[in-house]
């Protein structure tokens, strides 16, 4: 299950991305019982990295998407055997 978030600049820094992404993580892990969620985040995207940390996502690896290097950040459902 992959997560993504984006906010319009005028609404940045107000916690909307964090609140919405937290609800998505909860739904994926607790309701859908997905074993793991992930987000692909560019290392220069400090705002998204902060959101990922707040959500409990941890750096797992580097990868490339559309020719751009990104970090893979994941969180596993407690008790899942991924």
11 confidence band (pLDDT: 50, 70, 90):
confident
Domain boundaries, the chain: 2-76
Q: What is the tens place of the pLDDT at every residue in 20-79?
A: 999 999 999 999 999 999 999 999 999 999 999 999 999 999 999 999 999 999 999 987
**In b/e form, how buried is each residue of 9-48, taking b as 16+ CB within 10 angstroms?**
eeeeeeeebbeebeebbeebbeeeebeebbbbbeeeeeeb
Q: What is the CATH architecture of 2-76?
A: 3-Layer(aba) Sandwich (3.40)
Does the pTM surpass 0.95? The reply is no
């Amino acid at each position: 299950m992959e997560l993504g978030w984006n906010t319009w600049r005028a609404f940045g820094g107000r916690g909307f991305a964090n609140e919405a992404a937290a609800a998505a993580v909860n739904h994926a892990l607790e309701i859908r019982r997905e074993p793991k969620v992930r987000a692909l985040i560019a290392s220069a995207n400090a705002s998204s990295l902060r959101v990922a940390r707040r959500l409990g996502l941890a750096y797992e690896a580097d990868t490339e998407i559309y020719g751009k290097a990104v970090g893979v950040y994941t969180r596993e459902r407690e008790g899942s055997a991924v």
